[in-house]
Structure 1
Amino acid sequence: MHQNNMTRADFRKQIRARRKQLSDAFQQAASEQIIRQLSHLPELDTSQHIAIYLSTDGELSTHALIEWLWQQDKSVYLPVIHPFSTGQLLFLRYTPDTAMVQNRYGIAEPRLNQQLILPTRQLDLIFTPLVGFDASGHRLGMGGGYYDRTLEPWFKSRSGAKPLGLAHSCQFVERLPVESWDVPLPKIVTPDKIWSWE
């Protein structure tokens, strides 16, 4: 199928399949390279409260990155699906001792504990998962819209937590089909490059 005729669902399927074929050794090397890339990012120096996600489905592995952030004395937060605000995320502090549960998608998340919640506007950086991205910085997510809603305040006012996409190089496509609510990310980091649209 020619890329121009592909729907978002087509792209999602194709890129997820591509990503799942990456070997463990490739994933390991990519996670080390991503830390090297991020160590040069000025945003990381100036950020203390950093949201990230636990990788799944062939995503770029974030486990070594989380360990590295802890070593840098950063406070790390993970997304938790909001128990009653549909489609919203909460961010809870994550440490090596955090009690974890599985959410409805089978992804591990911190057990809901009000004392561990940090309001999203108080985060400095939100590492944002994505299925695919294009030459304009548009992000293709899993389709649930969780991060679109979470990042809306930043897109509207450029204040609060700054989003930073993480991806394998194979998740790049020249041009994604774009919806009216799609807003490009300011930066996406791959193991071999820092893409910036700022």
Structure 2
Amino acid sequence: MASSQGTDAGKTALREEYVRVRTRMSPVVRAATDARILQRLELLSAWREARLVLTYVSFGTEVDTHALMRAAWQAGKQVAVPRCRRSHALDFFVISSEDDLEPGFRGLMEPSRDCGQPLTTPQLVGSVCIVPGLVFDADGYRIGYGGGYYDRFLAFYPGEKVALVRGQQLSGNPLPRDEHDVPVDWLVSDSGTWCCNPMVQ
């Protein structure tokens, strides 16, 4: 795992560092790395057993989730993606193809207004959530983009939480964390899979 500058590093500094780390990778290396991550994800029991996959829609140099969505549909799973609310909350909507996406908050691709009603918490039972982030530590804590959207959602989420992480996004040091931060259960990297929560094994 890479160093994160230590536990006293501020989240803003870490965000800046790991954005640079991510953008320094060539597109060819990113694509190959992301393909290996998806292969490992498909071996994870939480993925295999899930009937519903909640995922962010990747943009820029994030770990690719478009191939993930196609793999989920091919496996007969439902896919739901988030729409951001002004209250810094997320609503997830089921989509049937990437044609159901349209530009939304800050230009991010979101479910179109034709995608029906947001999923309720009971409907999320038995699902798996793919959680975005810039860097993760061995306990599953992360530095995200600073909006707090996912931590608010994950506080009440009933399923297993998975992060897709390139090796350069793994911190060898504990990351700064706040009371409201929610760790993921699994880290799936191009080099291996780690369980951060013994309760889900």
TM-score (norm 1): 0.88
Q: What is the CA distance between 1:122 and its match in structure 2?
A: 1.8
Q: What is the CA distance between 1:7 and its match in structure 2?
A: 0.5
Q: Show the 5 A alignment for 1:132-143.
A: 132-143=135-146
SS of the residue corresponding to residue 92 of structure 2 reads strand
SS of the residue corresponding to residue 153 of structure 1 reads coil
Cα deviation code 1:85-143 (max 9, x no counterpart):
x1111111122264332123111111124625322442211100011111222111111
Match of 2:28 in 1: 25
Which stretch has the larger CA shift, 134-143 or 124-133?
A: 134-143
Q: Show the 5 A alignment for 1:36-185.
A: 36-82=39-85, 86-96=87-97, 98-113=99-114, 115-123=116-124, 124-154=127-157, 160-173=158-171, 174-185=173-184
Conservation of the 8 A alpha-carbon contact between 1:131 and 1:141? yes
Cα deviation code 1:135-154 (max 9, x no counterpart):
22211111100000000024
Structure 2 CA distance for aligned equivalents of residues 48 and 75 of structure 1: 6
Match of 1:157 in 2: none
Conservation of the 8 A alpha-carbon contact between 2:154 and 2:182? no
Conservation of the 8 A alpha-carbon contact between 2:138 and 2:196? no
Conservation of the 8 A alpha-carbon contact between 1:34 and 1:189? yes
Structure 2 CA distance for aligned equivalents of residues 194 and 50 of structure 1: 18
Which stretch has the larger CA shift, 177-186 or 66-75?
A: 177-186
Conservation of the 8 A alpha-carbon contact between 1:121 and 1:161? no
Q: What is the CA distance between 1:58 and its match in structure 2?
A: 1.2
**Considering only aligned residues, what root-mean-square deviation do their CA atoms show, in Å?**
1.9
Q: Which runs of 5+ in 2 are unaligned?
A: none
Amino acid at match of 2:65: T
Structure 1 CA distance for aligned equivalents of residues 82 and 56 of structure 2: 7
Conservation of the 8 A alpha-carbon contact between 2:56 and 2:132? yes
Asked which structure has the greater RCO (Cα within 8 Å, sep 6+), the reply is 2
Q: Which runs of 5+ in 1 are unaligned?
A: 155-159
Amino acid at match of 1:107: L
> For this pair of structures, how many residues does the alignment match?
191
TM-score (norm 2): 0.87
SS of the residue corresponding to residue 59 of structure 1 reads coil
Identity level (%): 27
Q: What is the CA distance between 1:39 and its match in structure 2?
A: 2.0
Conservation of the 8 A alpha-carbon contact between 1:52 and 1:76? yes
Conservation of the 8 A alpha-carbon contact between 1:131 and 1:142? yes
